[in-house]
Amino acid sequence: MNIHASYFALSPAFNPFYLLDKWRNPYRYQHTINLRGHALAISWTQRAQRAMQERSLPLIVEMQLYFSCVVKKRVIFHDHVEFDLVDVSEWLRVGFRPVQSASCDPDEFARNYPVQRPFDSYAAAKMNPRWLLIDYKNDSFVGEFGL
């Protein structure tokens, strides 16, 4: 049961569940940008903040919608890329790419994620990420995004 979306829900300022969740939520840093004409809410943890500030180059985050035998959402972290990015801050840049696979071989898909080309269909152009979460665990960046 989702009491937060009910008719009798308290406003966030008076809802103890909301306040407790906000206090315990590890994603303390937030920023909203305009990506491909739509708002993208980005949140990251204190661990990710420290790791990004220790880098000499900005962290490049690629949100990839991968079309193959199945559709898969991937968050990939790079040092350099050849597609359009949006600056979030001096140490964080973000981009989104729908791509089509080179083959529909399940073994190759699981091992290498072979990319044939950017996927430029009308339907793929309508898909835009709405949120992105970034964390730093076990000496590497991890992330997830939602459409």
* Boundaries of every domain in the chain: 33-146
Q: How buried is residue 102: exposed, middle or buried, by Cβ count under 10 Å (0-12/13-18/19+)?
A: middle
Other Cβ atoms less than 10 A from the Cβ of 110: the count is: 8
How many secondary structure helices (H) and strands (E) does the chain include?
Answer: 4, 9
Alpha-carbon span 45 to 144, nearest angstrom: 13
pTM of the model: 0.75
Q: Are 146 and 131 in contact (CB under 8 A)?
A: yes
Alpha-carbon span 52 to 143, nearest angstrom: 14
Taking only the tens of pLDDT, the chain with its 147 residues reads 455 555 556 566 677 776 675 566 578 899 999 998 999 999 998 889 999 999 999 999 999 988 877 788 989 999 888 888 999 999 999 999 998 877 776 666 656 666 666 777 777 778 899 999 998 888 999 999 998
Q: How buried is residue 131: exposed, middle or buried, by Cβ count under 10 Å (0-12/13-18/19+)?
A: middle
Tell how far CA 19 is from the center of its chain. Answer: 24
